Amino acid sequence: MTEIYSPLQAQIVQWQVQPGDSVNAGDLLVILEAMKMEHEVRAEQAGRVSELFFDNGALVAEGDPLLNLEHGVQVDRGPEPKNVEKIDVQKPTGTGPRPDLQRVLDRHAPTLDVNRPEAVAKRHALGQRTARENMADLCDENSFMEYGALAVAAQRSRRSEEDLIKNTPADGMVTGIGSVNEKLFGLDHSRAVLMSYDATVLAGTQGMRNHQKTDRMLGVALQQKLPVVLFAEGGGGRPGDVDMPIVAGLQVATFASFARLNGYVPVVGIVAGRCFAGNAALLGCCDVIIATQKSNIGMGGPAMVEGGGLGVFKPEQIGPSEVQHGNGVIDILVADETQAVAAARHYLSFFQGRVKDWVAPDALALRDVVPENRLRVYDTRTAMAGIADQGSLLELRTGFGKGIHTALARIEGRPVGLLANNPLHLGGAIDADAADKAARFMQLCNAHGLPMISLVDTPGFMVGPDMERHAQVRHVSRLFLAAAHLRVPYLSVVLRKGYGLGAMGMTAGGFHSPLFTVAWPTGEFGAMGLEGAVRLGYRKELEAVPEGAARDALYDKLVAKQYDNGSAINMAATLEIDAVIDPAHTRDWLVRGLQTQRAQPDSGRLAIDAW
């Protein structure tokens, strides 16, 4: 005889057995209720019920005896235990999933591309991919966890539930967390918050529900310090969401929340197609903007422009890619979304850690980068490629500020930022656009902890009346201000010209500011350009010689003397630079420098200018 006790304080809802009933192990004996929840009491072994101690509805305390069970009774219940439903979860039951699961599956179905063939076909007809196709391409396989998939537009007061579910899936915004480059860096370093406006749903506009979804994901990104990738295509605010009791909706937190990520985590914006108004405002807050050649980006679309009385324009006329690439809005211009996603993966990789496998370029090729003729221009990107691991170089903002190249790269697997003057543009002189580009790049690398390497070949800051009309004084000084706040290692290599304030700006404020400033044998230095220095410093001597061959000969002699005096060897001898090196040894110097100096402790958020 065994007494069966109550496992908790509860009320007896329903006895499932009566005295004299035979039971097997696992049979349901009684149902108890506590805190509105039902609890089952089952037999632990076979037997016969001899006595019940309480009636239905009675209250029992924990440990109260409920019934007596006699043992040693042979019970034949047939193939299935009494009152026990057995379901093999590995095989279909023949009747399909239980109703609550089926409802969830049915509810998710309209969000999937496979169930939206017309919308997908329209997208493909434009030569573009769906939001979910882009997300699948960006994420490592089966890694995406979607948040907010069941949201619909806030338009229940004007549209049926069936219509909203069918035509506004996820409220036009696919959001979640996935991993990017997990095979290279592991799960801990590959996770990112991913968000994509869905152009097939209400033209990718910003609805109230998708604002809520965005805010939720931005909070997760800030809390977990996860990078953010935003596919920003869409037309801005949506006037049709009438369920919310608001007038203008200007209280939404999305824009402030998105901007708050600046300097904390990498933020990548991708655009294919049209991106206007609110969508463009978020895009403009991104660290880097990747766009396709068929993209259009503007703070107002055609309707807004026309509504402001500014004329009637087609979408293709507003912010086309060639304009936005040339003015610096677009950092990386690509042919299509496939290339855009590949560029995003490449960009994110620089902020995910070091790689173990890398291939060094031909070091000896660096010896031939600078022409022997000191007046001959050349492409400093060959020096960048000769320093970086093969295949790692990613140039940014190539259409803007052409006087300075900026790129992310790796050296022996370690991510770095590269700056290089461009002698092919203004002889390497630094104008306002180039200074803006370089200063912001310093901020980008500084905020996210990438060491910086500067390749110097500049006659200085660009001068002249035309330059000053562009606020040259303010713009070029941004180089000094940005450098003064650097916490990351900074290494400088003078390839050829290192003149004046421009060279100081390229070396974080002065030749002794970097961990080291070294020069190639082709290096030449001066407080200003040699030719200008001779004309100004030796004006009387030159004017004393008759104009013509004699004066030209004196001028050439004085320039040669200045060149010899400002040679790299003399600069190293006076300790104004740290060394003159064989160009083939440049990577060796950089590797040792990066091993010597480490980033200063992160004191908190380091802002990156939108511009």
Nearest alpha carbon to residue 36 among 13, 19, 64, 14: 13
Rounded Cα gap, residues 268 and 289, in angstroms? 6
Count of other CB atoms within 10 angstroms of residue 108 = 15
Residues 578-593, mean pLDDT to the nearest whole number? 97
| Token pair 């072994």 in the structure block, residue | 45
pTM of the model: 0.87
The phi, psi pair for 428, rounded to 5°, reads 95, 0
Judge whether 63 and 5 are in contact, CB under 8 Å.
yes
Measure the N-to-C terminal CA separation of the chain; round to a whole number of Å.
84
Q: Which CATH code for domain 127-349?
A: 3.90.226.10
**Distance, C-alpha 118 to centroid of its chain:** 31
pLDDT at 71: 81
Task: Say if residue 549's pLDDT is above 50.
Answer: yes
Rounded Cα gap, residues 144 and 136, in angstroms? 8
Rounded Cα gap, residues 182 and 140, in angstroms? 7
For 71, the token pair is 């043992």
The phi, psi pair for 495, rounded to 5°, reads -80, -40
Nearest alpha carbon to residue 23 among 84, 88, 77: 77
Q: Is 529 helix (H, G, I), strand (E, B) or coil?
A: coil
For 560, the token pair is 């040669």
Query: Per residue in 209-225, is it b (16+ CB within 10 Å) or e — as a string?
Result: bbbbbbbebbebbbeee
pLDDT tens-digit readout, 298-352: 999 888 888 888 999 999 999 999 999 999 999 999 999 999 999 999 999 999 9
pLDDT at 530: 72
Count of other CB atoms within 10 angstroms of residue 166 = 14
Q: Which CATH superfamily is domain 363-523+568-596 in?
A: 2-enoyl-CoA Hydratase; Chain A, domain 1 (3.90.226.10)
The pLDDT > 70 percentage for the chain reads 96
The pLDDT > 90 percentage for the chain reads 73
Task: Say if residue 458's pLDDT is above 50.
Answer: yes
Helix axes 549-565, 530-537, angle to 10 degrees: 120
**Distance, C-alpha 145 to centroid of its chain:** 17
Q: Which fold has domain 2-70?
A: OB fold (Dihydrolipoamide Acetyltransferase, E2P) (2.40.50)
pLDDT tens-digit readout, 79-128: 554 444 443 434 455 578 888 889 899 889 888 899 999 999 999 999 99
Task: Say if residue 23's pLDDT is above 60.
Answer: yes
Residues 138-158, mean pLDDT to the nearest whole number? 91
Are β-strands 59-60 and 10-15 bridged in parallel, bridged antiparallel, or unpaired? Answer: antiparallel
Which range is most confident: 114-118, 309-313, 440-444, 566-570? 440-444
pLDDT tens-digit readout, 243-269: 777 777 778 889 999 999 999 999 999
Average per-residue pLDDT for the chain: 91
Nearest alpha carbon to residue 275 among 285, 262, 265: 285
Judge whether 464 and 445 are in contact, CB under 8 Å.
no
DSSP-assigned letters across all residues of 350-419: TTS---S------GGGGGGSS-SSTT----THHHHHHHSPTT--EEE-TTS-TTEEEEEEEETTEEEEEE
Rounded Cα gap, residues 42 and 55, in angstroms? 17
pLDDT tens-digit readout, 48-66: 999 999 999 999 999 999 9
| Token pair 């006790």 in the structure block, residue | 5
